[in-house]
Amino acid sequence: MSGSVVDGVQRLPSTGISILIVGAGVGGLMVAIEAWRQGHDVQVLERNDGVSPIGDSFGILPPALATLRFFPSLHKDYESTSSDALMYFYSHDGQKVLEAGEAPWNEPGAVHAARDVRVTWFVRRYKLLAAMEAQARRLGISLHYGKNVVEYGEDETQGFATTSAGDRYSADLIVAADGVGTKSHKHITGVAPLPSSSGFAVYRGVIPIERLQDISQASKDKIFCDSRPEFRIYLGPDMHMNLLTNPDSIIYILTHEDSGSAEEAWRSTVSGKSVLETLDTVPGWDPAVKEVIAQTPEDSVIDWKLLWRNPQPQWCSEGGRVLQLGDSAHTFLPTSGVGASQAMEDALSLATCLRLGGKEHLVQSVKAHVLLRFERVSILQRFGFANRQVLHKLDPFRLLDQPELMEMRHSRWIWAHDPIQYAKENYPMAVKAVTEGSAFENTNVPVGFRYTPWTIEEELDRERKGLKSQLRETGDWS
Ligand X SMILES: Cc1cc2nc3c(=O)[nH]c(=O)nc-3n(C[C@H](O)[C@H](O)[C@H](O)COP(=O)(O)OP(=O)(O)OC[C@H]3O[C@@H](n4cnc5c(N)ncnc54)[C@H](O)[C@@H]3O)c2cc1C
The least CB distance from residue 209 to ligand X, in Å, is: 18
CA distance 69 to 73: 9
25 touches ligand X by CB under 6 A:
yes
Q: Interaction with ligand X in 341-360: which residues (CB under 6 A)?
A: 343
**Rounded-to-integer distance, Cα 366 and Cα 343, Å:** 15
Under the binding rule (CB under 6 A), the answer on residue 419 touching ligand X is no
Cβ pair 384, 334 in contact under 8 A: yes
Contacts with ligand X: how many residues (CB under 6 A)? 34
Residues 6 or more apart whose CB falls under 8 angstroms from that of 115 comprise 69
The interface mask with ligand X, positions 298-337, x = CB under 6 A, is ----------------------------xx------x---
Query: Measured from the CB of residue 347, what is the shortest distance to ligand X in angstroms?
Result: 9
The distance of Cα 234 from the centroid of its chain, to the nearest Å, equals 22
- How far, rounded to the nearest angstrom, does the alpha carbon of residue 105 sit from its chain's CA centroid? 18
181 near ligand X, rule: CB under 6 A: yes
Distance of alpha carbon 87 from alpha carbon 230, whole angstroms: 6
Query: Which is closer to ligand X, CB of 135 or CB of 364?
Result: 135
Could you tell me which stretch among 108-116, 179-187, 290-298, 360-368 binds ligand X (CB under 6 A)? 179-187
Other beta carbons within 10 angstroms of residue 36's beta carbon come to 23
Binding-residue pattern over the window 70 to 109 for ligand X, x denoting contact by CB under 6 A: ----------------------------------------
Compute the distance between CA of residue 18 and CA of residue 333 in angstroms, rounded to an integer.
33
Q: Is 46 in the site for ligand X (CB under 6 A)?
A: yes
CA 377 centroid distance within chain: 11
Distance in Å, CB of 437 to ligand X, minimum: 30
Scanning 96-104, 174-182, 269-277, 409-417 for contacts with ligand X by CB under 6 A, the matching segment is 174-182
Q: How far is CA 295 from the centre of its chain?
A: 28
Q: Which residues pair with 256 in a beta bridge?
A: 201
- CA 345/CA 373 separation, integer angstroms: 9
Looking only at the bridges linking them, the beta strands covering 122-124 and 142-145 are unpaired
Question: Given the rule CB under 6 A, which of 20-28, 207-215, 224-232, 406-414 is the region that contacts ligand X?
Answer: 20-28
Exactly one of 94, 134, 238, 266 binds ligand X (CB under 6 A); which one? 266
The end-to-end CA distance of the chain, in Å, is: 44
Which listed residue (27, 62, 63, 357) binds ligand X by CB under 6 A? 27
Q: Which is nearer to ligand X, 206 or 356 (CB)?
A: 206
C-alpha triplet 189, 193, 198: angle, nearest 5°: 170
Which of these segments, 176-184, 353-361, 428-436, 458-466, binds ligand X (CB under 6 A)? 176-184
Compare residues 25 and 419 and give the one whose CB is closer to ligand X: 25
Residue 116 Cβ, how far from ligand X at the closest point, in Å? Answer: 24
Residue-by-residue DSSP string for 59-72: ---GGGGTTGGG-H
Of 134 and 429, the one with the shorter C-beta distance to ligand X is: 134
Range 224-263, binding ligand X (CB under 6 A): none
Q: Which of 55, 94, 104, 297 is the binder for ligand X (CB under 6 A)?
A: 55
- How far is Cα 38 from Cα 437, in angstroms, rounded to an integer? 28
Q: Are strands 173-176 and 322-324 parallel, antiparallel or unpaired?
A: parallel
183 is a contact residue toward ligand X (CB under 6 A): yes
User: Are the beta carbons of 242 and 253 closer than 8 angstroms?
Assistant: yes
Q: Which of 11, 125, 204, 373 is catalytic?
A: 204
Of 170 and 281, nearer to ligand X (C-beta) is 170
Which residues within the stretch 127-166 sit at the binding site for ligand X (CB under 6 A)? 147-149
Q: Report the distance separating Cα 66 and Cα 352, nearest Å.
A: 12
**CA 262 to CA 360: how far, in whole Å?**
47
Nearest residue (CB) to ligand X, 9 versus 175: 175
- 462 among known catalytic residues: no
- To ligand X, the closest distance from the beta carbon of 291 in angstroms equals 23
Burial of 51 (0-12, 13-18, 19+ CB in 10 A): buried
Contacts with ligand X, residue ranges (CB under 6 A)? 22-28, 45-48, 52, 54-58, 125, 147-149, 177-179, 181, 183, 204, 266, 326-327, 334, 339-340, 343
Please give the positions annotated as active site: 204
